[in-house]
A and B are shown apart, each in its own frame.
Chain A
C-alpha cells in the first residue's frame, strides 16, 4: 500500500500535507452536503409553506431560546439556517461548477487552436481576449446581467437567473484558460512528438486533443481549482450586491446580504454562519489548488 502511494509522487505528497487532507475533507463534505441537500435538510427553504414567521429569529441551539429543531437558528422568515446553508451552497456550487466548465471548454478550446494554428487566428483570439480583459470580471458579469434585464421580458427573467449568472461568470473566466492553454500549446508545438504527428499526416483535431492536450493538463488543473473558487466568490459577490440570486432562492451570497441587516441588532448568526461556511468552502478549494500547483511545479516546494 505504501509502495503504491510512493509511486505516485502527487499522492505521496498529499499524505504528507495535513492542510491538503483537511481541505479535501471539508470540500468533500460540503459538496456531499450540497448535493444531497433535499435529503438531509429538514426544511426546503424555497417552499414557502414549510416555514413560518413564528419560528423567526431563533438563535442557535446552544444559546438561550434556541431549540434543537433548528441547530443553527433561523432567519427573519423562520427558515432553518442549516437548510438554508445547504441549499445555498448547492446553488453556489452548481453555478460555480457550471461556469467553470463552460470557461474551461471555451478557453482551452480556443487556446489550443490559437497555439496550433498561430498566425491570423491566433491574433484574432488574442484581440478578443484583450477586450475581455479590459473589462474585469465583475464588470462583465454585471453588464451581462444588466443586458439580460433589459432584453428579456420579466416573466422568464426569474427562471433564467441562474443561467444568466452562470454565463456571465463563465465569460469573465475563460481568458485565463485560453492564455495558459495557448502558451503551453506553443511550448508543445516545439516538441518533436508533435512535429512527428504532423509530419506523419495526422488530422489537426487529433494532434490537438489526443497528443497535445494530455500534456498541458497540469497548469490547467490548477487554474480550474482557482477559477472554481473565483466563480463561487464572484457569484457570492453578485448576490451580495443584489444582482445575483434573489432572497426566495438564495445562494450563500444572498444569505450574507440578508444577514448584514442584522449585524448590528444582535442576531449575529444570520450573518456569520453563512459567511463562515462560504469562507471555509473557498479556503478548502484554494488549499487544494495551491497543493496542485506545488505538485506540478516541484521547484516551489
Chain B
C-alpha cells in the first residue's frame, strides 16, 4: 500500500550537500507492522519525515518515488500535502511529554484534530474521542479527557498521543521510537496496543527503533539501516533468524542475551584501535602497582534517604519523599554487583549517596574496613574520593566540552598527588588512552571531536587514572548504540579481569546486567526486591516483580538464533 523506491534525501551545508539517506526502498501493506531498525545516525527518522513531508529545513528530497495507494506523495502541492497528513498518514514521536500542548486540555486537542478532517459537531467529536481513549486502554475516559497532559503518567501520555493519531483514521502511522522513553512494563503494553491496532483497524505501521528486541516482539517485516542505506530487508523471522548481511549478523551478535552469560561479544568493525603493545603496557604496569593492596568491598547497611517535600500549603508541613527505604547489601571485594531498577526506583539516588553527593538520613556505609562518611561529612580530601570513581551515563555531558582530553585526564593525577611531573602525567595519560583502545594522538583533541562510544572510553580512562579500587558504573551504556555497547562491555570485562576492580554496575537493562554481574540486586520504589547470585536470580526469580520484568523484557527468541 505504501511504496517507497530509490528515496534520497540531502541536506545542504557549508561543506556541500550531505546525503542523509540514499536509495531507500520499502513497502508497507495495510495491517502490517514494518520495523525500521538501525543505530543512531542511520537515517531512520529521516525516512519517516520524508514520507510524511515534514523534513527539517533545509533538507530536501533529491530523488525517488513515494506512493500511498494511487497517490504520488512527492509531487503534492503544499495544500494537498497538508490535507493528506492526518487523513491518510500520521506520525507519532518519541517523547510524549513534548508531543502534547501543555496549555490545552486533552479533549480540546482531540476534538480539534477530529474536526480538522471531518465536518462534525463538537458534541459528536467528543463522544468519538472518548470512544478512542477507551479503546486504547484509558479507564474512566469521559472524566480523564478533561485533564491536562501533565496530569498523565508517561505511558498514559503516549497512549493519548496514539489516540490523537488514531482519531483521524489514517491508513499509515509512522511511529518514531515510540517506546524508547518508557519503562519496560509500559513499553510492552504500548507495543501490544500497536499490534492490536494494526490487526483490528488494518493500519500500516512504520516502527522506527534502535531496539532489536522491540522488532522481535511486534514487527512483521524489518529493514536494517546503516549510514543512510538499507542493508537488508525481509520478514522478521528471516532477517533476525538468518541474517545475510555481515552488519546485520554483527548487530544481532551485539545484543546481550537474557538467558545466559557470554564471555565476550563479537562486534561489527571495532571502533577501537588495536593496542600498540608497548604504549599501553606502561599504564598497565602503573595500574597494577596500585592493585598490590587488597581488593575492597562495599557494605551498605540500612541506608535511608529522604528528601524534604515541596511546600504547597502554609499550615501543613509538606510530606517528605523517601527515595530509599532501609537498603542493605554487600559488594564482595573483586566482584561485580549488578543493580537493576526502572526509573524512579532510586538507583541514581543510591549512586549519589555512595559518592557523597547526597546526604543519607540514616544508615551506614563501609568501604573495606573503613566507614564511609556520609554526604556533607565527607571532606574533599578523604581517601574514598580517590578509591571510588564513577563512570556516568551520558557521554555527551560527562566530559567538560571546553577542556582538552589531556587536561581532563591529568586532573586525577595531580589532584590525588599520584604523579607530580607534568611530562610524566602526559606520558601516563597517553598510555592509558592506548589501554582503553584510543589513539595516543587523541590527547590534544576536544571531546566534541569524538563519538559517544569513544567518549565513554575516555571517561573510563579518567576513572582509571585515579588508581581506583572501586568503580561505580551508572548506566554506562544506556546512551550507546548496541554495537558500541558491546565493545564497551568487552572493555569493562577486560579491565575487571586484569586489575581485579570491584564494580557496582547500575542499569535498567536486564540483559546487560546479566552479562556483567556476579551478584545482583533488584531495586523497586526505593526497596530491595531481590538479592542474590545473578545466575540464580535470572533462572529462579523469587519476587513477582522480578519475574514480570524478566518476562516483559523484549528479547530475541532463541528459536530464531541459529548460532
B402 interfacial contact with A, CB 8 Å = yes
Q: Is the CB of B390 within 8 A of A196?
A: yes
7 residue pairs, one from A and one from B, having the closest CB atoms? A201-B385, A214-B402, A192-B398, A192-B392, A191-B397, A201-B380, A193-B400
Q: Is the CB of B14 within 8 A of A215?
A: no
Chain A nearest CB: distance from B382 CB in Å?
A: 7
Chain A's closest residue to B384 (CB) is A201
Chain A nearest CB: distance from B387 CB in Å?
A: 11
**Known: A6-B15, A201-B381. Contact between A193 and B399, CB under 8 A?**
yes
Interchain CA distance A12-B14 in the complex, whole Å? 9
Which of B381, B394, B402 is close to A192, meaning CB atoms less than 8 Å apart? B394
Q: Is the CB of B357 within 8 A of A199?
A: yes
Chain A nearest CB: distance from B256 CB in Å?
A: 24
B415 interfacial contact with A, CB 8 Å = yes
**Known: A192-B392, A195-B357, A199-B385. Contact between A215 and B401, CB under 8 A?**
yes
Which of B14, B398, B412 is close to A193, meaning CB atoms less than 8 Å apart? B398
A134 interfacial contact with B, CB 8 Å = no
Give every chain A residue within 8 A of B356 (Cβ-Cβ). Answer: 199
Interchain CA distance A202-B380 in the complex, whole Å? 7
Q: Is the CB of A196 within 8 A of B466?
A: no
Q: Is the CB of B415 within 8 A of A200?
A: yes
A161 interfacial contact with B, CB 8 Å = no
**Given A191-B397, A196-B390, 5 extra CB contacts under 8 A:** A193-B397, A193-B401, A196-B462, A199-B357, A202-B415
Q: Is the CB of A192 within 8 A of B393?
A: yes
Chain A nearest CB: distance from B86 CB in Å?
A: 26
Interface residues in B, total, Cβ within 8 A: 27
Which of A6, A195, A198, A199 is close to B14, meaning CB atoms less than 8 Å apart? A6
Interchain CA distance A174-B385 in the complex, whole Å? 37
Give every chain A residue within 8 A of B462 (Cβ-Cβ). Answer: 196
Q: Is the CB of A215 within 8 A of B400?
A: yes
Beta-carbon contacts under 8 Å, B376-391 to A? 380-382, 385-386, 389-390
B135 interfacial contact with A, CB 8 Å = no
**Known: A200-B466, A201-B385. Contact between A192 and B355, CB under 8 A?**
no
Give every chain B residue within 8 A of A191 (Cβ-Cβ). Answer: 397-398
Interchain CA distance A191-B403 in the complex, whole Å? 15
Give every chain A residue within 8 A of B403 (Cβ-Cβ). Answer: 211, 214
Interchain CA distance A200-B462 in the complex, whole Å? 11
Chain B's closest residue to A199 (CB) is B355
B contacts, CB < 8 Å to A: 14-15, 355-357, 380-382, 385-386, 389-390, 392-394, 397-403, 411-412, 415, 462, 466
Give every chain A residue within 8 A of B411 (Cβ-Cβ). Answer: 197, 200, 202
A203 interfacial contact with B, CB 8 Å = yes
Give every chain B residue within 8 A of A211 (Cβ-Cβ). Answer: 400, 403
Give every chain B residue within 8 A of A201 (Cβ-Cβ). Answer: 380-382, 385-386, 415
Interchain CA distance A200-B411 in the complex, whole Å? 9
Give every chain B residue within 8 A of A197 (Cβ-Cβ). Answer: 400, 411
Interface residues in A, total, Cβ within 8 A: 17
Chain A's closest residue to B462 (CB) is A196
Interface centre among A195, A200, A202 (most CB of B within 10 A): A200
Interface centre among A12, A195, A198, A214 (most CB of B within 10 A): A195
Chain B nearest CB: distance from A253 CB in Å?
A: 39
Chain A nearest CB: distance from B546 CB in Å?
A: 29
Give every chain A residue within 8 A of B415 (Cβ-Cβ). Answer: 200-202
Interface centre among A12, A193, A203 (most CB of B within 10 A): A193
Chain B's closest residue to A16 (CB) is B14
Give every chain A residue within 8 A of B399 (Cβ-Cβ). Answer: 193
Interchain CA distance A196-B356 in the complex, whole Å? 11
Chain B nearest CB: distance from A57 CB in Å?
A: 55
Q: List 28 A–B pairs whose Cβ atoms lie within 8 Å, in order of A's numbering.
A: A12-B14, A191-B397, A192-B394, A193-B397, A193-B398, A193-B399, A193-B400, A193-B401, A195-B357, A195-B392, A196-B398, A197-B411, A198-B357, A199-B357, A199-B385, A200-B385, A200-B411, A200-B466, A201-B380, A201-B381, A201-B382, A201-B386, A202-B380, A202-B415, A203-B380, A211-B400, A214-B400, A214-B402
Interchain CA distance A200-B413 in the complex, whole Å? 11
Give every chain A residue within 8 A of B390 (Cβ-Cβ). Answer: 196, 199
Which of A6, A12, A192, A202 is close to B397, meaning CB atoms less than 8 Å apart? A192
Interchain CA distance A215-B356 in the complex, whole Å? 25
Interface centre among A12, A191, A202 (most CB of B within 10 A): A191
Chain A's closest residue to B447 (CB) is A193
Give every chain A residue within 8 A of B355 (Cβ-Cβ). Answer: 199
Chain A nearest CB: distance from B48 CB in Å?
A: 22
Give every chain B residue within 8 A of A196 (Cβ-Cβ). Answer: 390, 392, 398, 462
Chain A nearest CB: distance from B418 CB in Å?
A: 12
Chain B nearest CB: distance from A140 CB in Å?
A: 33
Give every chain B residue within 8 A of A192 (Cβ-Cβ). Answer: 392-394, 397-398
Give every chain A residue within 8 A of B412 (Cβ-Cβ). Answer: 200
Chain B nearest CB: distance from A51 CB in Å?
A: 53
Give every chain B residue within 8 A of A198 (Cβ-Cβ). Answer: 357
Interchain CA distance A196-B462 in the complex, whole Å? 10
Beta-carbon contacts under 8 Å, A199-254 to B? 199-203, 211, 214-215
Chain A nearest CB: distance from B188 CB in Å?
A: 30
Interchain CA distance A211-B402 in the complex, whole Å? 8
Give every chain A residue within 8 A of B385 (Cβ-Cβ). Answer: 199-201
Give every chain A residue within 8 A of B15 (Cβ-Cβ). Answer: 6
Give every chain B residue within 8 A of A12 (Cβ-Cβ). Answer: 14
Interchain CA distance A5-B496 in the complex, whole Å? 46
Give every chain A residue within 8 A of B398 (Cβ-Cβ). Answer: 191-193, 196
Interchain CA distance A192-B355 in the complex, whole Å? 13
Beta-carbon contacts under 8 Å, A179-203 to B? 191-193, 195-203
Interchain CA distance A276-B480 in the complex, whole Å? 58
Interchain CA distance A12-B392 in the complex, whole Å? 35
Chain B nearest CB: distance from A72 CB in Å?
A: 43
Give every chain B residue within 8 A of A200 (Cβ-Cβ). Answer: 385, 389, 411-412, 415, 466
Chain A's closest residue to B392 (CB) is A192
Interchain CA distance A191-B394 in the complex, whole Å? 9
Chain A nearest CB: distance from B155 CB in Å?
A: 25
Interchain CA distance A51-B515 in the complex, whole Å? 89
Chain A's closest residue to B466 (CB) is A200
Q: Is the CB of B402 within 8 A of A215?
A: yes
